[in-house]
């Protein structure tokens, strides 16, 4: 008997994602002016307020208010009626210098022996069920919200949309773990109060709410989903939309109050959305606001890089890679592999792990260098997932009232590159 599996995503206007984006924007600003910056920036957002906290060691000086306001305005919180608006919200900073006790465990005279910024275990996962080697349920959930945000920002259709939104996709799998069909799609989107009740009675309010819900549901089915279908170029995936899909659109009936006014947001509360949507595993460490000396981030990217290259090389159809570290120690404590009995090579998972250790240098500094992580590349990761994205080179500009403006060319999502396939094939004897 087959099974159902569900993944969720949240939009860039979700309060937790607002917090993530502010934290990563602060990190990018610091790295742009001082690539050696050590940063751990946490953000809290609530009604009319942003609170920044954390530890920083840097030669750069950042106008935190300006950074936070720019992020909020870019997301789309630009109206006072949202009760959280970029130009008027309060921005409070409680950031202080990094503990010297932590710093001495990280920095070394030989940079390649730089210690891990913390202990912990990190996981990377990949599956060949999609072209980007991501779980299909999460890939579709991200796509729905990314396109919904494009519609909102274009301002031509669904003009009632507000920035906060969530999606969920449930897929039916067969006994062999192959996707068979899309079972359920959930879309919850914040919206303007665009139908007013005739009077103050509960009945009139309910009628107005039902009219709004009817319009939103119709637009999700006839505006949003056709654009989602048009963005899918894999016929096998399109064929999964082959049955009576259950759609839940704004199941509560009304979603006017949202964003940081409706729910407090915190950095790092969407780690499953950020990674694999519940597939594989997660070590528990968040990403946003952390510089790459924190292996919570850099080693999780490295583990994804390894898993993706191994699956793409044909070592397994699905693979989970765990790497663990001790604070201040450069080399990993262990490497663990699980191929879910879907390996294509005639060796054990333990032997695969040993080959990974031979192929990839997993010291923190080596990861930083290989994946070019000391660049300001993190704002783009803070919404719609850190994994499964398309590597690309972009030019980014940074403005500072204290230093000269800066323009840098950087490569985004380097951990998604498939540039180790030949080395993996050679090591595993795959021809």
- Binding-site members for ATP are 14, 164-166, 254-255, 263, 269-270, 286, 290
The DSSP call for residue 76 is T
Task: Give phi and psi for 49, each to the nearest 5.
Answer: -150, 140
Structural contact between residues 168 and 6, judged by C-beta atoms closer than 8 angstroms: yes
DSSP-based helix, strand, coil % in the chain, nearest 5 = 35, 25, 40
Positions at the binding site for L-methionine: 55, 98, 263, 294
Q: Which of 165, 188, 152 is nearest to 14 (CA)?
A: 165
How far is the first Cα of the chain from the last one, in angstroms, to the nearest whole number?
35
Positions at the binding site for Mg(2+): 16
Task: Give phi and psi for 324, each to the nearest 5.
Answer: -130, 155
What span, in angstroms and rounded, lies between the C-alpha atoms of 425 and 418? 12
Positions at the binding site: 14, 16, 42, 55, 98, 164-166, 254-255, 263, 269-270, 286, 290, 294
User: Which three-class secondary structure state does DSSP give residue 305?
Assistant: helix
Positions at the binding site for K(+): 42
Residues 320, 324, 330, 333: is their CA dihedral positive or negative?
negative
Structural contact between residues 8 and 185, judged by C-beta atoms closer than 8 angstroms: no
CB atoms within 10 A of CB 203: 10
């Amino acid at each position: 008997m087959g099974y159902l599996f569900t993944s969720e995503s949240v939009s860039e206007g979700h309060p937790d994602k607002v917090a993530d984006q502010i934290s990563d924007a602060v990190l990018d600003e610091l790295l742009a002016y001082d690539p050696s910056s050590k940063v751990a920036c946490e953000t809290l957002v609530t009604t009319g307020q942003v609170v920044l906290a954390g530890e920083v060691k840097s030669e750069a000086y950042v106008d935190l208010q300006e950074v936070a306001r720019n992020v909020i305005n870019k997301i789309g919180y630009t109206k006072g009626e949202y009760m959280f608006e970029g130009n008027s919200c309060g921005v409070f900073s409680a950031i202080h210098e990094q503990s010297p006790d932590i710093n001495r465990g990280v920095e070394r005279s030989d940079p390649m022996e730089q210690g891990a910024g913390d202990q912990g275990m990190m996981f990377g996962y990949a599956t060949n069920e999609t072209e980007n080697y991501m779980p299909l349920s999460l890939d579709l959930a991200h796509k729905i919200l990314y396109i919904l945000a494009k519609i909102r920002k274009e301002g031509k259709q669904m003009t009632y949309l507000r920035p906060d939104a969530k999606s969920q996709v449930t897929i039916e799998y067969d006994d062999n773990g192959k996707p068979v069909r899309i079972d359920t799609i959930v879309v919850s989107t914040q919206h303007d109060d665009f139908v007013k009740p005739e009077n103050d009675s509960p009945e009139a309010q309910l009628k107005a709410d039902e009219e709004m819900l009817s319009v939103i549901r119709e637009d999700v089915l006839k505006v949003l989903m056709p654009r989602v279908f048009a963005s899918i170029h894999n016929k096998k995936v399109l064929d999964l939309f082959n049955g009576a899909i259950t759609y839940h659109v704004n199941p509560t009936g009304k979603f006017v109050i949202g964003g940081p006014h409706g729910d407090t947001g915190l950095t790092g509360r969407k780690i499953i959305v950020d990674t694999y949507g519940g597939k594989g595993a997660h070590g528990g460490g968040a990403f946003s606001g952390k510089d790459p000396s924190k292996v919570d981030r850099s080693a999780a990217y490295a583990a994804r890089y390894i898993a993706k290259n191994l699956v793409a090389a044909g070592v397994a159809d699905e693979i989970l890679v765990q790497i663990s570290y001790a604070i201040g120690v450069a080399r990993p404590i262990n490497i663990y592999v699980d191929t879910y009995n879907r390996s294509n090579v005639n060796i054990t998972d333990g032997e695969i792990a040993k080959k990974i250790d031979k192929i990839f240098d997993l010291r923190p500094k080596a990861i930083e260098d290989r994946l070019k992580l000391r660049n300001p590349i993190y704002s783009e990761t803070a919404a719609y997932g850190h994994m499964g994205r398309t590597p690309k080179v972009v030019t980014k500009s940074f403005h500072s009232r204290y230093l000269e403006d800066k323009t840098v060319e950087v490569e985004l999502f380097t951990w998604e590159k498939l540039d180790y396939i030949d080395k993996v094939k050679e090591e595993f004897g795959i021809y």
